[in-house]
Each structure stands twice: as C-alpha cells, then as structure tokens.
Structure 1
C-alpha cells in the first residue's frame, strides 16, 4: 500500500518548478496587455499598496505564481497567510478577517504595476486554490473512510495551465500522477488495440522505457489485469469498475499474485467527489480522478488599492 502525506513545508514546493515557468507568466501578461496599457496611463507610476482579500473558504495555493506576476510588474508581495493554510471565508476571524473578507497579502509598487498584474494574478490564484481546496477536501474524506493509499489527479488538465493545476494538487495533498506523456508509460485501450495485445504492448514499452520508467496498463477485467501483471506491468489500473466490482477484483488480484509479482493497483474512471469513498478498500493503492482539478469551483479573491 502506498501512502500520501501532505507536504510539511508548502513553501518549498516552489523549488519543484522548472526554469521555464517564469516565461509562462510573461506570456500571460502579454496576452492580457498585447498593446497599449490605457488604464496604466490613467493611474501612472505613483507608489501605492493594495490588499489581497480572500472572499470565500478554501486552501491558499499558487503563491509563487502570484508573486512572479507582480515581480514582473515591478511590485512586491507581503503574505499574511501561509500557502497551504485554510482561508475561513466570510465568517472566519483568522488572518485579519473583517467585514466578510480575510486579509491574505499586501502588494506594494507603482499603481500602474498593481493594476497591470491584478487580473492575471487573481485568475491564477483563484484556480490554483480551487484545485488545492477540492484535493484537500476529498483526501480528508478518503482518510476518514479508512483509505491509506494515494489520491491522484489525471492528465485531463487545461492546455497551457497544467503546471499551475498540478501544483495546486500538491498543495492540497494529492499526487500529481504523471505530468505528461514522457512521465511513466501508460498503456490505455488504444495502445493495446493498436499493438495487438497487452503482453506485446508491455514488451514494447519496456524495450524503450528501460529501468527508469514504470509501465502502467489500463484494464477492463480481472483477466486483462492478470495478463498485464504477468507481462510485468508495474501499475495496473482498474478502469470504470463499480465500487463493488473494485473490491472483488482488487482482493482477488492481490491474493492471486501474492509473493509472485509486485504491482500497484490503481482505480480510475467514474470517481467523483461524492462517490470516491465507495471505492475504498485495503487492496487499492491509488485512487485517481479528474474531479479534483477539472471544473472545480474557484476560491474567490479580490485586490483592492488602499486609500
């Protein structure tokens, strides 16, 4: 059984980000202001401060992205809440909650810079925090239901925004699963059909992936799972099983292959926030779902210049 512990220091997650991530921020700013900054001309360069307010409950996530937006706009950010911490929402009293809002950060810099970065920064923070919030909520529910394995996201992310969404999963305590097609080798039904069999597909994958990449196979039945395990799959995904079906198949597979082959069992397909607990059993190592990042509600933030 695998485990998934929430990071103790969410601030260190910034060190995971690749060297290219800051160019994405630059591209998003360029998208938002492709030519003249008319509003910036109106307000000018006078130094001001603005307060970032949390207006709904959730987990704060996306701190490095928010900071970089304003850094590129000539501003600095002072945080009053730690990434990974819970924002109480309108009725909360922590972090200086006042009049239905929670004080999250203070941003300082030229007025034009504050307004130039405002919408881009808020969009990123709202989306990332929404992913972290749903991830944390589902993980806590699963732990309460007795699940000790890993909750993972999927590759069903927004094009161009995957890094932020995967980062949000980590802050929420979930596993990113594979980041892209070059991370782990996942053989789905189309791969198997194209190659001819599970055995041949796994053999081909291992011939190029070598020892450093795990091979995962998506299966629709116990029989397919047996073939995948026998072929040497590192991870077997029970896809679109019912909760009851998962418990039967997982128990049978772990008992049948005990002491013969080591493999992880993943369950995916049809798992939602309101039904994931139905799939919990001791034999399942990983529950993966796009429900923690696809179509999740955003956490509401606003940035108001102090007067």
Structure 2
C-alpha cells in the first residue's frame, strides 16, 4: 500500500493546491525546515519522499534519531514553488507526529535502561488509523520496539478471548491446536491466569492493569514456574510510574506513546 500517495491524494484532491497554483506557475524556489522545539528527529526520510513525489529535491541536514535543538535547520528543499508548497503540510505533519513519538520513547528508554539495561519499551496497536506504519517506525527510531504490527503477525490472547472461550487454559488450547509458527502471548489479570499460562509454555504473559508490587509478585511466581517466559507489563503505565515496573519487566508496552503523545513543532520557510 502506497501510503504517501494516499496522503497526497487526500490533501490535493482532484484539483490540486488551488491557492498556490493560482499564484505561481513554473517559478523555482528554495525553502528550509526548522525544528521549533528540542526533540529526537524522526520522519526526515519520509518528508524527503513526500517532496520527491512532487518533483522537488530535499537535502537532509540531520538524520532520524538525532537529538536536535530548537532552531535547528533539519532540511533544505529546492524545486518549483508549486511542488514545495503542495508538500509542505504533509511533510511537516509526518515530522511533527513522528518526532513527538520518538522523543517520548527515547525519554522512557533512557529512564528505564538506567535501572534495567535489558528492558524493552514497546508500542501497542493503539495507533492512528492509516498511520500505524510511521508511528511504529518512530518508536523504533526512539529506541523502542514496535510489538506486533497487527492482528496477523503474533497471537495475543486478551480478556475477551478468555471470557468467550470459558477459561485461559481453553483459549490457549484452541490457539495451540491451530497455530504452530507464531509468537503466543497471554494477557493476564491475576496470579492464577499467569501460572496457568506459564505451565502451558506460552512465549510471554502480559500482566495488565496491576499495581507495581502486585505485578512484581506475579512476575516472580511465574519465573519460578517457567524461567524462560517473557514478562510484559502494561496498563496505566506512564512516565511518572514506569520506574516502578522497569526493574522486573522484560517488556513495557504503552499505548500513550502513539495515541496521545504531543507532536513536536516544525516549520517550513521559503527563502
């Protein structure tokens, strides 16, 4: 799926940029993109692709993953003014959104790695429809992990699966009968569910919506039962309390880093 093509069609429609096209014809121009806030840069390659599709050339001055300061010029664009102005908003939207995600992810990674060098900060499927590819990419740029991309690439048995199947054991049994080659994780809400999952030798358990000490106690008991199992925690975890979970978790997944993180501000200025 060519997402950038879809995004451009959404913005330009059938008639194109009627404002710019009524003012300019074939005039050439030059512009710069400036970061208005400190951030971890993400989406610069994607912004370049936007302008390339429209016939303009963008020179990248700073790379994805770099920490940059407010006022930094991150790119320079040359080409027809029609092309530059048609791509301006899409390129800036991608940079702003992705850099916001990458910045928050990097903050969490740096915090948690100080207490547990092996813990992984993960995204979830709580993403913007149509933009998941780029939001997950921004998490990776920030030093995190994307987790499963969709419903097709890993098994995650959740509370509604368990309720409808009758029990956690029955849900696991049905999955194992039908799926042999995928990562299998079970969302658990108490010690009993966690121990059943561990005995069934799933790949991971996700301890959901539990206070730090309760989650730690569950993790300890599960590792006694199955030392190889991956322990993930999620639900209600933020920058304010994440360090209470980081010492004992293998993975920490956070929906807010993609669904409600603050975008970073960038601007494009014609020279």
Please state which band the TM-score falls in when normalised by the shorter chain.
Answer: over 0.9
Within the alignment, does 1:270 sit opposite 2:236 as a pair?
yes
5 Å-filtered alignment, 1:1-307, equals: 20=1, 23-36=2-15, 37-41=17-21, 42-89=23-70, 101-210=71-180, 212-258=181-227, 262-282=228-248, 284-306=249-271
Per the normalisation by structure 1, the TM-score is 0.85
Give me the whole-angstrom Cα distance separating, in 1, the residues matched to 2:238 and 2:75: 33
Runs of 4+ in 1 over 6 A off after TM superposition: none
Give the RMSD, CA atoms, in angstroms: 1.3
Specify the SS of the correspondent of 2:252: strand
CA offset at residue 147 of structure 1?
4.8
Deviation larger for 144-153 or 79-88:
144-153
- CA distance in structure 2 between the partners assigned to 1:263 and 1:253 by the alignment: 8
Quote the offset at 1:207 in angstroms. 2.2
How far is the alpha carbon of 1:25 from its aligned partner? Answer: 0.7
The alignment of Structure 1 onto Structure 2 pairs a total of residues equal to 269
Contact 1:273 1:291 (C-alpha < 8 Å) held by counterparts: no
Q: Is the 8 A contact 1:132 1:169 kept in 2?
A: yes
Q: Distance in 2 between matches of 1:256 and 1:24?
A: 45
Gaps of 5+ in 2: none
1:192 counterpart SS class: helix
- Give the Å deviation of 1:200: 1.5
Q: CA deviation at 1:49?
A: 1.0
- CA offsets per residue over residues 65-116 of structure 1, 9 Å max, x none? 2111101110111011111101112xxxxxxxxxxx2111101111000000
Shift of 1:145: 2.9
* In 2, Cα distance between equivalents of 1:254 and 1:112: 60
Per-residue CA distance 1:7-42 (angstroms, 9 max, x = gap): xxxxxxxxxxxxx3xx21111111111132222321
Alpha-carbon distance in 2 for matches of 1:153, 1:130: 14
Structure 1: gaps of 5 or more residues: 1-19, 90-100
Contact kept in structure 1, 2:198 and 2:222, CA below 8 Å? no
Contact 2:29–2:78 (CA under 8 A) maintained in structure 1 = yes
After alignment, is 185-194 or 196-205 more displaced? 196-205
**How far apart are residue 220 of structure 1 and its match?**
0.8
For normalisation by structure 2, the TM-score amounts to: 0.96
- In structure 2, C-alpha distance between the alignment counterparts of 1:257 and 1:145, rounded to whole Å: 23
- Does the Cα contact within 8 Å between 1:87 and 1:102 map onto a contact in 2? yes
Q: Are the counterparts in 2 of residues 84 and 172 from structure 1 also a CA contact under 8 Å? A: yes
Aligned partners of 2:194 and 2:218 also within 8 Å: no
Secondary structure at 2:8 match in 1: helix
